[in-house]
Each structure stands twice: as C-alpha cells, then as structure tokens.
Chains A and B, each alone.
Chain A
Amino acid sequence: MIAVMDDILRSPWVAAAGDLWRQATRARFLDAVADGTLPPEAFQRWLVQDYAFARGLLSFQAVMTAKAPRAAYGLLIAGLTALDAELTWFEQHAGRLKLELHGPPHPVCRRYVDYLIAAAYTRDFAVLAAILLGVEAAYLAAWSALPTTGPYAEFIERWSSPRFAEYVGGLLKLAGEHEHPGRQPAFNEVLRHERDFWQMIWES
C-alpha cells in the first residue's frame, strides 16, 4: 500500500467518518474496472461526468486558493495546475471517443459541484481544506485499491501514482493544521457526494 494511504486510513478523519469512508471508496463501478467487466457506456458516462466534476473542482480550488494562507499556495497551485492538465487529458479521451463534454451534468454531479462551489465562497478556509482532503483522499483510496492492469490501467495509474499520493499527503497535513468544528461534517458530506456519484455512474 502507498505510505500516504496508510496515514489516511489511520487518520481521525477516516475514523470519524465511520462506514461512509467505505461507501465513498468502494463501488461496483470500480470492481468492474478491476475485473475488466466494465460496460463501455459506463466508462463513457464516468468520463463525461467526471470532467464536469473536475471543472467544478477547479472553480472550488481557485476560490479556496484565494482564501489560503501563504504557506498553502504552493500545494494548492500545484493542484490547480494538475487539474488543468487533467481537463486536457479528459478532453483528449473524449475527443477520441467523440463524446460531448459540455452537456448538462447529471443532477447528482451537479449537486456535488454546487456543494463545492457554494462552500468555497461561504465557508472558512479550514472547512475548505477538509473538503478538498475528502475529495482527493477518497479518490486516491478508490483507485489505488485496484490492480494497475487491464484496459483502464492508464486511469488507475493516474490516481494511484506516487505524485498524486504525495499531493494528498500534503492535503492531509494542511487539513490537520486548520481546526474548525465544521471540518469533519464537511469531510463526511464530501464522502456522501462521492458515494452518490459512483452509484449514479453505475446505475444511470
């Protein structure tokens, strides 16, 4: 297991989230990616919705960065640059598959993005750090649990890479440094959205 993953799993965040952590990081979609049985239409749906999500996350993180203390700039700006590259990467895949990326998002994706962006403007930085940790730690946990083989190995590697893990480690440290009574509820709320997102991708 990636060392950072161990830190996350032992963190008070995951302990306090209870079963929500498992619900947010395990999904039938991911099982199907792992065993090679994922229907192409589910993969395409994921690509389109995750692109819409990544665009929303970029807005969230840009506003969050504007509220950040100086010491967090490097980490958050590196994350923004990575998100920009990720959007390009999604666009290339979508282009090859001739997918329309700019249609209306699924209501479940929309709810998640609305939550993030509304929070970015209205919540304290400490809460935003907990939210971003929830988003990225759940993603690292979800993908890094899969074997990096099969037709989707490129995707699994992307969110299991040491570089991504190091970034999430930075977010874990950042969130830990900023206390706020609203931070664990916000972390849990992210996990609920993650859970609903995976479910939507699989069941739509």
Chain B
Amino acid sequence: MLHAILWQENADIVHACRHHPFVRGLFAGTLAIEAFRRYVGQDAFFLRAFVQAYAVALARCESLAHVRQLYSFVGGALEELKLHAAYAADLGIELDEVSPWPSTLAYTDFLRRTAWHTDLGPTLAAMTPCMRLYAYLGQAGAAQRRGAHPFARWIDTYSSREFDLLARQVETLLDALAADTPAVHDAYRYSLQCELQFFSAPLEPGA
C-alpha cells in the first residue's frame, strides 16, 4: 500500500517529531504553557488552510463516493478547529488575531499551492502526513500518560479511535487516488518536514 510505503520511507522525520523537545515536553506535561499557547494559535491558522485544501480536493473528485469522503474530512477538520477554539478560550487566545509565522505560512502556502496547482495524488499526499503523524503521536502520548495531565485534551483527541479511523480513511483515499510518482513522494516528505518545523517554531526565541 502506497500510504505504508510513504510512512516507512519517512521514518527519520517521524522519529524526529516523536522525540522533538516540544513533543517530549507535551507528553511529559512539562511543556511551557506559553509554548503550547503559541502552538495552538498557529495550528488553528494551519487548520483553516487544511479545511480549504480538502475542499479544493473535493471539487476535483469525479467519483461521488470520493466527494462524500472528502466532505466528511472537511467536517472532521472543522471539528478539530472547534477543539482549538475551546483551547483558545481556556488559554485566552484570540484566534482571529493570530498572525502566522513564516514556518506556518510555508506549510499553508505549500498546501494551497499543491491543492490548487497539482493533482489529487500530490494533494492527498500533502494532507495525509498530518493525520497519520498526529494519530501516531497521540497514541504515543496516551501510552506514556499517567493520571492528571495539563495537555490531556490534546492527547485524548489525537489518541482517540475516531481520529485513528479518520487517519486510516485519509490513507485509504490516498491509496485510491494517488499514483506512486516522485511528486507524491515529494509532497508527503515535504509535508512531514513542515510538521517538524511546526514543533520547532513555538520554542524559538522571539516566537
């Protein structure tokens, strides 16, 4: 299966994400709340582009079955945005006032460019890593979690069966719509590189 090949060939970046100081801090509950605040603001900005990229992909599907699937993914991403809105309210962040950082724009511009300018294959390849990586990280975080945790809601969301199912569905659609081409491999890898940068950015001085 193409999705499994892509996941395996990028194990180096997945490993780097899993052991990134931001992720380690998130799992251990020691991540500075300020870093988490910054991350949530950027992630909400990113998710809006993610929803739009799904919508562009949806508009390009010829099969109504694929349209339905992408429609449900749009719904899933909108649900995730609700979670961010709840976080933001708790953390006192005005999501509408968040300005994107260069690393966030790199990711959203890449998603938009891919969705609008290339085909469904690279578009799905650009969108799958985020889903699979977060399911993987959520489950890793849940396995490590003991008792009360400051980031319990994040871990619960991404370790849930529902989120894993969503990631599987996106992977199934990738397998159905993407050919094994260099553009697909490149989009998948670059997307994961953007994810890695995304974890680094909230920890950088001046972020």
Contact = CB atoms under 8 A, between A and B. Distances in A.
B28 interface: no
Given A114-B109, A114-B112, 20 more contacts: A59-B117, A107-B106, A107-B193, A110-B106, A110-B110, A111-B106, A111-B109, A114-B106, A114-B110, A115-B109, A117-B116, A118-B109, A118-B110, A118-B112, A118-B113, A118-B116, A121-B116, A121-B117, A122-B112, A122-B116
Interface residues of A, number: 15
Interface string B97-117: 000001001101110110011
Contacts of B102: 111, 192
User: For the complex, would chain A's binding face be called helix, strand, loop or mixed by DSSP majority?
Assistant: helix
A104 B112 contact: no
A59 B186 CA distance: 19
Contacts, number: 38
Given A107-B106, A111-B106, A117 B186 contact: no
Contacts of A114: 106, 109-110, 112-113
B112 A121 contact: yes
Contacts of A63: 117
A110 B109 CA distance: 10
A122 B105 CA distance: 14
Contacts of A111: 102, 105-106, 109-110
Interface string A79-114: 000000000000000000000000010010011011
Interface in A108-139: 110-111, 113-115, 117-118, 120-122
A115 B116 contact: no
B203 to A, nearest CB: 19
B151 interface: no
Contacts of B117: 59, 63, 117-118, 120-121
Contacts of B113: 113-114, 117-118
A175 B102 CA distance: 25
Contacts of A118: 108-110, 112-113, 116-117
27 contacts: A59-B117, A110-B106, A110-B110, A110-B190, A111-B102, A111-B105, A111-B106, A111-B109, A111-B110, A113-B113, A114-B106, A114-B110, A114-B112, A114-B113, A115-B109, A117-B116, A117-B117, A118-B108, A118-B109, A118-B112, A118-B117, A120-B117, A121-B116, A121-B117, A122-B112, A122-B116, A192-B102
Contacts of B190: 110
Contacts of A59: 117
A107 to B, nearest CB: 7
Contacts of B112: 114, 118, 121-122
B24 to A, nearest CB: 24
Contacts of B106: 107, 110-111, 114
Nearest to A189: B105
3 A-B pairs with the lowest CB-CB distances in the bound complex, closest first: A118-B112, A121-B116, A114-B109
